[in-house]
Structure 1
Amino acid sequence: MSSPHWSAPVAHAPVDATVAIPGSKSMTNRALILAALAGSPATVTRPLRSRDTELMAGALRSLGVGVGEDFDDWQVLPGELTGPARIDCGLAGTVMRFVPPVAALADGEVVVDGDPYARRRPMGPLITALRELGADIDDGGRGALPFTIRGRGTVEGGTVTIDASGSSQLVSGLLLAAPRFEKGVEVRHVGPPVPSAPHLAMTVEMLRERGAAVEVEDDVWRVAPGPLRGGETVIEPDLSNAAQFLGAALVTGGRVTVPGWPERTTQPGDALRGLLAAMGAEVTSGPDGLTVRGSGTFEGLEADLHEVGELTPVLAALAALASSPSRLTGIAHLRGHETDRLAALVNEINALGGDATELPDGIAINPRPLRGGVFHTYDDHRMVMAAAVLGLAVPGVEVENVATVGKTLPDFTELWGSMVTA
């Protein structure tokens, strides 16, 4: 009988590959929301097709939006938002934080639910904010999924104060729907710093590209009411999903090029240039894309990853294979992601013989010789990517539930295998 696990391939030689990365999940799901609220048809070109983006498309269809397929692109035909509807968020943070403000604009009841772990992800601040802006929501006092939105076809909007220190998506969700609220929205953040600031910059830039009037001042965001334009949005490659491929160049002393790397972007993954260089990589960019070359040995990393927390799993895997200790900090909010990523990374690295310690706001890793074993993924796509990086140098890494990587990169195992054998 075949093993239920995926055997992470070992690199027996330096990798030498060009890897085309599919579109950005973050940009795709923002583009779908803005297209659904636009005043004319829209096209999302070169979108990511994955579980998270299919859940977003399905959620919008449930509310009456036409989302059709034109080869690899999505054609979006805005329509009247109506209930009754049931929204399946899966484990997608962008769906559970971006869709409820849109659903509040629907006429009728909308039930919002997701996978079991999704019911533990922070939603209370968003639910409270939507109520203060005029939405009618019944969450049974849980501040979490599942909940029911009793839409009246409109939301008053106005000024709201929110603690978004758990996720920048709590702010982005309100901003994306704000142009359709009667008074727009002024969101004021009070609390510890909002993580993933590049994602907020992405939300603001994409709103402005669709014609929204947005002002940003410290921890205050203002979006005026008004129509959104349709038209085309071209999705960039998902730079965060490039992390493990570029990291493979470090681990194996090889070369990996990611074509289409944008010269200017709001994606957090662009920070890989500096982070990998700090570990000893040679990083260059040009017409062919971004290229990373490794020498076969590389140093640990001391970095505050508060703004780029999604890169943590792959960077932690690299740190476990580095030549010196690492401290990755500023990432306490990762305890509320698809799983408690800090605890998961410490558990799985140590299970392979590593030396990882959980810090109040991060992870400390001291390199030690690793051994093979089962690497659990906790239904978290980025845990799969971390395991694959470790498997390049550690024979016998067996990855449990590799299919969960379909959340953002369904073709991951094929792309990875092609890179290792190239």
Structure 2
Amino acid sequence: MELPPLARGIAALSLGAVPVSYALNQLAGLSHPLGVALASTLILALLFVAIHGLSHDEISYDPLYAVFGVFAFTSVVDLIISLQEDGYVVGFMEFYTKDGDPYLRTAHGIFICYWDGTVHYLLYLAMAGAIRRRKRYRNLGLYWLGSFVMSIMVFLPGNILGKYSSEIRPAFFLTIPYVLVPCWAGLRVFNQSPEPTCCPPAMVQEEHKKGLLQRPADLALVLYLILAGFFTLFRGLVVLDCPTDACFVYIYQYEPYLRDPVAYPRVQMLVYMFYMLPFFGLAAYALVVPGCSWLPDWALVFAGAIGQAQFSHMGASMHPRTPFTYRVPDDTWACFFVCNLLYALCPHLLAFRCLRQPAFFLRPLPPGSMAHLKKQQ
């Protein structure tokens, strides 16, 4: 499929990260952490100026175009970093991973770079293309927002609390815009008008009358969410050093990665417990009680969040960069993989259900509205 004009433009600018990273890697002056931070800041500033000059109309229409353009560039950089750390390419970003962000060399760091360089990159191209064609991209934006925020919520605290906390360099402060920009972008995405639905009022009323037993797919989702909630709570207790035998067996025989001195897996499980667990409960409620119009949007946000989180967590659990004693044992690998894959699928299935048949979640019309509509017909 041919990419839309803007997507091609952003793709061309972002691919400039390949020669730029190679050229910077050859400069001996970047062997100092402060030099890495200053060079990175200068490049991002020049990139922003170039995007603003080349696409002023698009930025006037939607300022997020500039954000997607800059972040697409950094996504290519992240992909180069992950490929380099796995030995597929050499001579590109050694200066940055050595003197800029050494925590990107961890298994978790490698996999968030893979996710950013593939999934996020494609989302940037798709959303940029939508802006150029003056199309809606709200659903894509909500998925990206959840994914991006989750990566930041785990990565930054993990850097500060884990065994790499003593290696924080000046380049770490470049993540401050990565915290602020999603807040601003999230507000703009949520304020966009929702995708139009083709659900007549009669269909909405009919769906609201159906009980949970009359909706077997929703019943299965509710049970799915309850099981996912118990799994979330259990792993949260595991990383909090719960002394029960079940937690002891699980952390040593099924997910020893949760004991890794890098703080990422522990932070990830705590984020799950404090954010995903309440969402699972609220989502189950919204599948029982009609008219919870907030669920489709938040289902997309949490689907993006758990997609990114599970990809990074599962990958890091099995990556050679993780010490052997903390990797998933061979005899329990299948159980670990199936449980975590099903956990990742849960919010995606919920988001798909909300988008495919949204009538149950639409708010009912006021009492006199139906009669007024019938008179108009």
- TM exceeding 0.5: no
More helix by share: 2
Q: Which has the higher contact order (CA 8 A, sep 6+)?
A: 2
Q: Which has the larger radius of gyration?
A: 2
More strand by share: 1
